[in-house]
Every structure is written in C-alpha cells, then in structure tokens.
A and B are shown apart, each in its own frame.
Chain A
Amino acid sequence: MIHLLWLSLAIPIIVHLVHRRKAKPMPFSTLLFLRMLDQRVARRQRLREFLLLAARLAVLAALVGALERPILKSLNSRGGGVPATAVILLDNSGSMQAVSQGSSAFERAKGAALQVVDGLKSEDTAALVLSDPGAEKAPVSTSDLAGLRTRVAALECGYGGGELGSPLQRAVELLEKSPNPAKELYILTDLQRSAISPAIKEIAARIPREVPVYLVDAGAETPCNLAVTRLDAGLAVHAVGAPFGLSCRVENTGSRSATGGTLSLIVDDEKVAEQPVAAVPGGAQTLLFRYAFKSAGVHTGRVELSPDGCPSDDRCYFTIPVLEKLPVLLVDGAPSVVRHLDGAFFLRLALQRNGQEGASSPITVDIARPEEFDSKRLDEYACVILADVPATGEGWADRLADYVRRGGGLLLFCGERVNPFAYNAALGPTAVESHRLLPAALGEVRTPQAGAEPCFFRIQEADRDHPALREIFSGMDLGTTQVTSLLACQPPSDAEAAILLKSDGGPLMLERRFGAGRVILCATSCTPLWSNMPLKTWFLPLMHQIVYYLSGSGSEPGAVTVGMPRTIKVAGEKPVEVKLLPPPARPDDKPQPILLRSAVAGAENKAQFNGTQRPGIYRVEFAAGERQVREAFAVNAPPGESDLARWQPAEAKTNLGRSNLIYTDKPDHLATVVQLQRQGLPLWDYLLLAALALVVLEAFLANVFVKH
C-alpha cells in the first residue's frame, strides 16, 4: 500500500507541468524589448523553479521513503532465520588489565563479548577462544548460549602473553568446521603491538571473504604505567649471611612521566626495603636491592611497585634457595709445605672466609689430593675445583662429565703443573664428545716476551654483566692485576664458550655450559706464581661468587613466566605424590592444593606442572624418603605484556590483511554495530530529518529564492 504513495511524487510534477502549460497568451506590440532582455535571467529563473520542483519532489520522496522504513544493508548482512556461528576471540592477556577511563580493557572486552552472545538467536552457535587459554580445554562451538554467557561473565583476565596468532588459528578452524551458513568472527583485543604481528595475515587469509570480522578495540591509552620488566637475583644459590643482590629494571610504558612511585622489596611477606622510582615515558631505571638471608631454606619474595594503570606488571616474584653450608671439593694438584706455593692455599683461604668480620663462611672446603679423587662422591659437593692438577686420572673424565651434566659446577685453575695435552685429550676437543667439558682447548704456557714492558699481562676486558662477576667488578679498575703466565686457550668456534675475563695475553677465564651444569676455566693459576690475582682484595668475593654460581648450575630457574611449564625434580627412584599450592587469586582466598604425580624417566624423577596461569609463589611439597621436602618457585607475568604500545586501527587492519574488517573502538556499543551489520542501517530517521530539512529548503526557495 505504501508503495502507491510513490505516485504522490507525480503531484508536484503535474502541478509544475500544468502551471507551465497555462501560460497566458498575451498579444503584444513587439517582442523587441523582450528579446533584449537578458535571457540568463530567465534561465536562472527556470533553474530556480527546477530546484524548487526538485526540493518538493525530494520532500515527498523522503516522506514516502521514511514510511517504507528502509534499511541500508551491507554485503555482510545476513538474512533473518539463517543460523549463524559466532566465534569470539577474547584477548585475556596481561596487557588487557590496563585500566583507563575507570575500567580495564578486559572488562570492556568482556562486556562486548556478552553483547555478542546476547545478540545471538537460539538456533545460533558460538565459541569462545581465549588468547591465553590456560588450563582450559580446546574451544568448541556450542549452542548452549546461556552456559556460554555464564562462562564469559565469570572470566577473569589472564596474565599471559597476548599473541593472537595461535588463538586466531583456533578460531579459523572453528569457523571452517561450523556447518552454519552464516559465520561471524569477533576479535576483542586492546590492539597491543605484540599481539597482532604481521605474520597473522596468513592465518587471517584463511577466513572466507563473506565472513564478517569485527575488530573490537577495547584498549585505550594508559597514561601512567611503571612495570618491573626484569628481576635478576644473580646467583641461583645463596648462603646464609652472604650478601644477596637483587637487580630490578623498571620501565615506564605509559605516556606520561612517572614520579613519586616506589619499588618495595618484600621477603617472606615482610617489607624489607623501598626505593623511589621515576622514569620518563619509554625510560627505564635499574634499582639494586641488597639483602642477607638469616636462615637457610627456600625464601620467597617479590618486588612491588606502587599501584598504577596496569596492575599485572606491578609485581615480580622470586624464590631464593639459601643454604646453610656449601660443600666444595678442592683437588689440590700442587700440594706444598710452603703455604704460598701450595696450589690450594689461597683458594682455601678465600673460600673459608666470609669477608665479613666475625662471620663464618657458608662454604665448607674439602681438600683432596688427586689420588684421593676416586674416593670422593661428587654428588655430595655443590662444586668441584681442580687447582693446578697436572692431568685427570683414569675415569675422571667420565665422573666429571656425568657430574656436570647433571647440574654440577666445575672450576679449573691452570698452573705450571698442568699438562694441556692431557687435559685436551681427556676433557678437551680431542676427547670423546661426551667428555668435552673444557670451554677451550689448552695450549702452551704463554708469557710476555723477554724484555717487554710491562713484563706481565693485564686484564683488558671483563664481562661485568655476568652474574658471578657483576657484583665484584662493577666499576672496578682491573688494570693493577698482573698475569705473568697463562695457558693459551683457544675457544671453539661454535660460540658455546663465553669469555669472562680477557687479558692482553689471551682469554683468562672462560665458561661453558655442559648439560645442566657449568664449567669455568681459569687460564692462570690460583697461586701468586703466575698472577697476583690471589693477592687482590676481590679474589675472595670472586671465588665465593663463582662457587655460588657454579653450585646453582643444575637448579631450576627460580621463576618462570605465566603459561610456561614447571618441572619439579624429586628425590628417589620411585614416583611420588607432589602437592602444589598455587598462589591465591585474591588475598583472602584459600587456594586448593593441586596433586601431581612424579614420573621416573632415566635417572630423573620429576613431575611437570602446566598450570602456571597466575603470577605468584607456587609452593611444592613432596616426600623424599622419610624427609618432607618443601620448595617453591615463582611465576611472573611476561614482561612483553607491559609494553602497552598499540597499533593504529589502520595498521591492525593491514596486519590482519582484511579490507572489509569492521572496526569499532566502542566496545560498549558493539551490539549496535553488530545489529547494523546483521540487519542493516535503518534509514527512516534520517529520511524524516532530511524531509524536515527539505521542507525548510523548499520554503526558502519558494519565498526567497524564486520570485512569484
């Protein structure tokens, strides 16, 4: 019926034509003057009349059009009654915890996801894909929309990485499997740069062109965010009373300068230190805490920033195993009754002293002669030191290689008695592959040329970032160290060895990882015969640090990032039950213990935990014979999530490689956007407004513009 109203458009046309046809005939004396008239006036008038007619037609057209209730449909619009599958890719990475405008990006994204679910019909199906799925099962499409809604409403933001490649892959697979004719993909994210890499384009290319992809930008600029991006406790093993240095790197990933903030050190739930933090946008600050543990055992702690825009990166947890005593086997290859000529004298003195007056060293040194080596059980020592031992005995290579491979630490000091060829043959490059412990092939003794000035080698370079060295050599001038002799060392070309100290005569100290353990080779002696190092003040702390460093070689890292598996080594040769207590989600929560079962694989008995979804301290308890072992490990948010740099929408679209991407930065109004796409844009409001405007225009044209 309304269609007939379109005929009303003929009314002004007819009126116009009739009006024109009714030109009054008028005999006139002459058309001379009329011909002289400027015909442009008449043409202008005709144009005005045409405009008036057009305005009247437009008014009628707008009114009739509004009555028709038209809808502007896009190519992505789907007809009513067609079952659809909506795959919701919800970014629940740590960066989504960033708070702006009173709510976090995740809350906004979650609200948008709920709008999507609420907008689905009963015959539709939906699937939820999380960027950080955690321990959840593989996502599947479900028609239980109420259940899905409940699940979405209960979701909490994760802490893991937000790379969207893998979840998008899962989402695409769900779309491909869906039998429904209509499909929709929703990507609810904060457009974090690290989340949408250009490589994602290949995955997005698999999405059929007819599938509308909604990119919902739930993020916003976070003005102020300080983040602990690195926490370095240096050594894996510490001893009671020994100074413990904790290096913390704090970055400002916000857009404003951060001042007035603090970084606190909390050890065993007790705040023990606090330092002010200030950084410009994009700037970083490294803070160093020093602390000495008073008791042995596994100590836990965290550094904590004052609250800011993104709470997920304000805390960084750590666990430090502190030992009461650290047994070290020192094999003295040059025993002598003359103390200063004894190969182990200075080393023993350094290790058995604490450096702090009145305090005893946690290191217990068991000195053995080479012939006694066979009688020693290496497993009882945290570290083995060979000092000027001429050559390894029979079977040593096997034992040492096995010891180091299993996580032990080996420190080798050269000297005038050392036979480099024997070492090379037993532990060096010419040894069997499983015994190649040495960081470098040993060569001949190297001394400064006769008559040369100076008549000794100097230390030229030191790896001052090395965990064992940085506490000692940070800012120290090593120019006074004199090395008169050293064994030439040729590191392998495969870069497995690292040079810790380098003199002008060649590498002086080298390190190599071997299996789970480490080997450090010192090319000079630990006696004053080849260098004055043992006489230097830094020799004692350096030896302590190296021993601590090597002692912790086999231990598991004290902290892992969210989502990474954690291996828990247990003692014994039989599977045992491991009780794991995750950190509480909220301060007043009491987390339920998780029971794991260890498995014996080869010589190792271990359990693996894959549920590190929340940062914090995870406590582990298991039985080792009759003894109950209590350990802990820390889980931290990935530092990449602190980088809140965002893609521009156009860049994100480019990365996704979809020109017909439907982008919105208003997650609160996603339902409107979706409805618009599904059903089209209702035009009648606009048409009525247009009609109103055209009526005003027509009045203007009729009364002002066109003369009557």
Chain B
Amino acid sequence: MSKGLYSKYYDPSKLARLGNLQMLARTVVEGYISGLHHSPFKGFSAEFAGYREYMPGDDLKHFDWKVFARSDRRYVREYEEETNMTCTILLDASASMGYRSDGCSKLEYGCALAAALTFLMTQQRDQVGLVIFDESLRERIPPRSSPAHMKYVIDRLEKVVPRGKTGIASSLHLIAESLKRRGLVIVLSDLVEDQDAVMNAFEHFRHERHELIVMNLFDPAEIAFPFSGLIEFRDLETREKMQLRAEVLGDEYRSKFAAFVDRYRRDTTRAKVDYQMLSTATPFEVMLAEYLRKREKGG
C-alpha cells in the first residue's frame, strides 16, 4: 500500500478495527455499505447491477420474490448506485484545535475523522466536500464523489495545520450561505466560542434545510483538567497567559465545562442537530461506528 492518503488516515489496522463492527462488514463489501447508510435523499439513477444471495439482515424490500417463487432460491437485487447524497465536512483548523495533551491533537483527530467519513461516503457514491476554516474560510473543496476527489480531499487534510483564531459562527454563516444544494453538513470543531452565536449558525443550516451533524472535539485534558500545581496557561490562539493553581480550580473548571457541553447538547437537541462530544482519546473508528449506528437509527 502506497504512502499518502492511506498511510496516515486510512490505516488498514484502523479499518480492521472498524471491521469488527457491523458497519465495517458493510464497508468492506463495496455497495453493501449503503445498507448501513440510509441516505435521506434518493438518487436520480438506480440501475440494476445483479443478484446476490440473501443474507439474514438484508432489507426485504430488495428481496426478489419472483426468483424465489421460480427457483426456491433467495436472492436480493443489487443496484449500481443507491443514493446520491451531498455531504460537506466543515473542519475547524484554528490554533485551539492544535492542542494536544497526549496522543493526537484535536485537529489531527478531526482530520482522521474527516478522511474516514470521506472514504466511507465516497464508497457509497456520495458526494463529499470539505471546508477548512478558522476565523475565515481557509480552503473550500466542493463536493464530488469520485475516488480522485477523495484522494484530493484526504491529501488536503494531510496538509492542514492549526493556526489563526476561531471564528466558528461567522465561518458557519458564510458556509451556510454558500451551500447551494441541501445535504448533510458535518462540523468538526471544538466549538469554543460564544455558544449563542454558534447555535445561531447551526440554526442557519437548519433553516437552509441541511442536515447537521456536530462533532465537538475535545482533548481529554480539556475534559478532565488533570493539572495540578501553579500553572501558567497560555492560550494557543490569543497567546494570552493566565497563572492559576490548577488543583484549586479543577472542580470549578470541570463544572463549567460540563455546563458548556450540556448546553450544546440541550440546544442542539432542540434544534434537531445531531451533536456528539468526542474525546480524542477515543479511537476515532469507534466514533465513526457510533456515528454510523446513530445514522442508521435516525435513518
């Protein structure tokens, strides 16, 4: 396997781990993945591709009752292309996303997740686009479904570096204005900004009838605040410094953080936005499987 795309994000071992899950089995078999992935939009073409043997769990609406009646064999029909969904992944690449306490940074984690989603959707013939933003729109790749596009997207993801200040709300508004076709929008960000403004941006997407999935990325240290002693915290974006005795303020921090996340969780539920808080300590494949499972239920 060559270097580049697959070396960093499409690591076979990760895919193997993904294969332990139900979604993985369907991802391996090209086209089968669509059984897990119910696109909310029907495609314009649905060409018959052939039969395959029925396996328990297959949707009965594709079961060929005529063949079964004639030959007493159980087949399901397969189509060349089941859906034609447009998905846009919005990746926050501001400086705060570059924070890491151990392991990968939030941006790396977000890029991996974006790559996996891109691969997954490309396999399903869905069109995948990518927008990288910080306080402004840094890069915009329109949705396509070709493997070359996928390679291009993943290649761009490999080169993303964290910099600049966060401007989530303004960037999201810009993106929401620019998306012409309604589709699925996946936001990968730490969302550390004014929550009202961010929720307003989410509402903008919903107003444009996009389906919105928000993956709120945090480093485990940001969640647990495991620091102690006198620490001079330096803001990665503003370079601002704040000296604190961490063990004194730990409880207070965790309380504030929980309230922060809870508010997103509450407000996104009300706005019919899928919200998932992710820790970079959690293997992203698990989160991907969790996402697919969630998508399947919501299907």
A residues lining the B interface (CB < 8 Å): 19-20, 22-38, 41-42, 45, 707-708
Given contacts A24-B229, A31-B233, contact A707 B252 (CB under 8 A): no
> Is B230 in contact with A28, judged by CB distance below 8 angstroms?
no
Contact, CB under 8 Å: B244 / A29 = no
For the complex of A and B, 3 pairs with smallest distance between CB atoms? A29-B99, A29-B96, A23-B230
B219: contacting residue among A20, A26, A29, A708, CB under 8 A: A29
Contacts of B242 in A (CB 8 A): 31, 34-35
Q: Are B222 and A29 in contact (CB under 8 A)?
A: yes
| Alpha-carbon distance between A648 and B87 when the two chains are bound, in angstroms | 99
User: In the complex, what's the smallest C-beta–C-beta distance from B158 to chain A, in angstroms?
Assistant: 22
> Is A31's CB under 8 angstroms from B238's CB?
yes
Closest A residue to B232 by CB, please name it.
A23
Whether B256 pairs with A33 at a CB distance below 8 angstroms is yes
- Cβ B252 vs Cβ A26 within 8 A: no
Neighbouring A residues of B260 by C-beta, 8 Å: 33
Question: With A29-B106, A708-B247 known to touch, is A37 a contact of B229 (CB < 8 Å)?
Answer: no
Q: Flag whether B78 is at the interface (Cβ < 8 A).
A: no
A26 B231 Cβ-Cβ under 8 A: yes
CB of A23 within 8 A of CB of B231, answer yes
Nearest residue, chain B, Cβ from A28: B233
- Inter-chain CA distance A33–B259, complex, in Å, is 10
CB nearest to A45 among chain B residues: B248
B246 — nearest CB in chain A belongs to which residue? A26
Question: What is the minimal beta-carbon distance from B104 to any residue of chain A, in angstroms?
Answer: 14
A-B contact pairs, 29 of them (CB 8 A): A19-B230, A23-B230, A23-B231, A24-B229, A24-B230, A24-B231, A26-B234, A27-B99, A27-B233, A28-B222, A28-B234, A28-B236, A29-B99, A29-B219, A30-B192, A31-B240, A31-B242, A32-B192, A33-B257, A34-B233, A34-B242, A37-B249, A37-B253, A41-B248, A41-B252, A42-B244, A42-B245, A45-B248, A707-B248
- Chain A residue numbers with a CB within 8 Å of B249 are 34, 37, 41-42
Distance in angstroms from B30 CB to nearest chain A CB is 39
On chain A, the residues within 8 Å of B243 by CB distance are 23
Known contacts A27-B99, A29-B99, A31-B242, A42 near B248 by CB under 8 Å: yes
Would you call B190 and A29 a contact (CB within 8 A)? yes
Q: Which of B50-98 contact A (CB under 8 A)?
A: 96-97
- Tally of chain B residues near chain A (CB < 8 A): 33
Say if the beta carbon of B235 comes within 8 Å of chain A. Answer: yes
Indicate the member of B236, B248, B252 with the most A CB atoms within 10 Å.
B248
In the complex, A41→B246 CA distance in Å?
Answer: 11
Question: A32 to chain B: which residues have CB within 8 Å?
Answer: 192
Least distance between A708 CB and chain B CB atoms (Å): 7
Task: Report if B237 contacts A (CB, 8 A).
Answer: yes
Which residues of chain B have C-beta atoms less than 8 A from A34's C-beta? 233, 242, 244, 249, 253
> In the complex, how many angstroms separate the beta carbon of B249 from the nearest chain A beta carbon?
5
Tell me the minimal C-beta distance from A28 to chain B in angstroms.
4
Residues of A within 8 A of B219 (CB): 29
- Which of A26, A41, A42, A45 has most B Cβ within 10 Å? A26
Residues on A with C-beta less than 8 A from B6 are none
A20 to B245, CA, bound (A): 10
Residues of chain A within 8 A of B166, CB atoms compared = 30
- Residue on B with the closest CB to A27? B234
Q: List A contacts of B256 (CB < 8 A).
A: 33, 36-37
Contacts of A708 in B (CB 8 A): 247
Assess whether B48 is interfacial by the CB under 8 Å rule: no
Interface centre among A28, A38, A707 (most CB of B within 10 A): A28
* Residues of A with C-beta under 8 A to B99: 27-29
- Bound complex: CA of A36 vs CA of B232, how far in Å? 16
- In the complex, chain B residues whose CB is within 8 Å of the CB of A23: 230-232, 243
B41 beta carbon closer than 8 Å to chain A: no
Q: Which residue of B lies closest to A32 (CB)?
A: B192
Residue with the highest number of chain B CB atoms closer than 10 Å, among A22, A30, A34, A41: A30
Closest residue on chain B to residue A708 by CB atoms? B247
Residue of A nearest to B245 (CB): A45
Query: Nearest chain-B residue to A21 (Cβ)?
Result: B230
| Cβ contacts under 8 Å, B152 to chain A | none
Bound Cα distance from A707 to B246, whole angstroms: 10
Chain A neighbourhood of B222, CB < 8 A: 28-29
Contacts of A24 in B (CB 8 A): 229-232
A35 to B242, CA, bound (A): 9
Known contacts A31-B240, A34-B249, A34-B253; is A26 also within 8 Å of B192 by CB? no
* Complex contacts, B227 vs chain A, CB 8 Å: 26
Q: How far, in whole Å, are A35 and B252 apart by their CA atoms in the complex?
A: 11
Q: Note all chain A residues with C-beta closer than 8 A to B190.
A: 29-30
Q: Look across to chain A and name the residue whose beta carbon is closest to the beta carbon of B250.
A: A707
- Cβ of A558 to closest chain B Cβ, rounded Å: 94
Q: In the docked arrangement, what's the CA distance between A267 and B253, Å?
A: 103
Which of chain A's residues has its CB closest to B234's CB?
A: A27
Query: A21 to nearest B CB, angstroms?
Result: 9
The CA-CA distance from A666 to B186 in the complex, in Å, is: 91
Residues in A whose Cβ lies below 8 Å from that of B244: 34, 37, 42
Q: Is the CB of B236 within 8 A of A33?
A: no
Contact residues in A for B236 (Cβ distance below 8 Å): 27-30
* A interface footprint on B177-199 (CB within 8 Å = 1, 0 otherwise): 00000000000001010000000
Central interface residue in A29, A31, A32, by most chain B CB within 10 Å: A29
A232: shortest Cβ distance to chain B, in Å? 90
Instruction: Please report the C-alpha to C-alpha distance between residue A41 and residue B237 in the assembled complex, in whole angstroms.
Output: 26
The answer for the CA separation of A38 and B229 in the assembled complex, in Å, is: 18
Q: Roughly how many angstroms separate A31 CA and B244 CA in the complex, as a whole number?
A: 11
Q: A37-B249, A42-B244 are in contact. Are A25 and B234 (CB under 8 A)?
A: yes
Tell whether, in the assembled complex, residue A37 and residue B231 are in contact, meaning their CB atoms are under 8 Å apart.
no
Q: A24-B231, A29-B222, A37-B252 are in contact. List 19 more A-B contacts (CB 8 A).
A: A24-B232, A26-B232, A27-B234, A28-B99, A28-B233, A28-B234, A29-B97, A29-B190, A29-B219, A30-B96, A30-B235, A31-B233, A31-B242, A33-B253, A33-B256, A33-B260, A36-B256, A37-B256, A708-B247
Please, which residue of chain A has its CB at the minimum distance from the CB of B248? A45
Which B residues touch A29, using CB under 8 A? 96-97, 99, 106, 190, 192, 219, 222, 235-236
B-side contacts of A27, CB under 8 Å: 99, 233-234, 236
Residues of A contacting B235 in the complex (Cβ-Cβ under 8 angstroms): 28-31
Alpha-carbon gap, A45 to B248, bound state (A): 7
Cβ of B128 to closest chain A Cβ, rounded Å: 27
**In the complex, what residues of B have CB within 8 A of residue A19's CB?**
230
- Within the complex, the shortest CB–CB distance from B159 to chain A, in Å, comes to 21
CB distance from B182 to the nearest CB of A (A): 32
Question: Considering residues B227, B232, B260, which has the most beta carbons from chain A within 10 angstroms of its beta carbon?
Answer: B232
Q: Are A30 and B237 in contact (CB under 8 A)?
A: yes
A667 CB, nearest partner CB in chain B, Å: 59
B96 touching A25, Cβ below 8 Å: no
Q: Give Cα distance in the complex from A24 to B228, angstroms.
A: 10
Q: Which residue of A lies closest to B237 (CB)?
A: A30
Complex Cα gap A707–B249 (Å): 10
A42 surroundings in chain B (CB, below 8 A) = 244-245, 248-249
Within 8 A of A (CB), among B244-299: 244-245, 247-249, 252-253, 256-257, 260
Q: CA A25 – CA B190 in complex, angstroms?
A: 22
CA of A687 to CA of B7, assembled, Å: 73
| CA–CA, A22 and B232, complex, Å | 9
B231, A20: Cβ atoms closer than 8 Å? no
Determine if A22 and B234 form an interchain contact, defined as CB atoms under 8 angstroms apart.
Answer: no
Within the complex, the shortest CB–CB distance from B79 to chain A, in Å, comes to: 45
Instruction: Tell me, rounded to whole Å, the shortest Cβ–Cβ distance linking A32 to chain B.
Output: 5
Minimum CB–CB distance from B248 to chain A (whole Å) comes to 5
**In the complex, A28→B242 CA distance in Å?**
10
CB neighbours (8 Å) of B232 from chain A are 23-26
Kindly list chain B residues whose C-beta atoms are within 8 Å of the C-beta of A20: 230
Q: How far is the CB of A593 from chain B (nearest CB, A)?
A: 96
Min CB distance, A34 to chain B, in Å? Answer: 5
Q: List, in ascending order, chain A residues with CB within 8 A of B230's CB.
A: 19-20, 22-24
Complex CA gap A539/B235 in Å reads 126
| Minimal Cβ-Cβ distance residue in A for B243 | A23
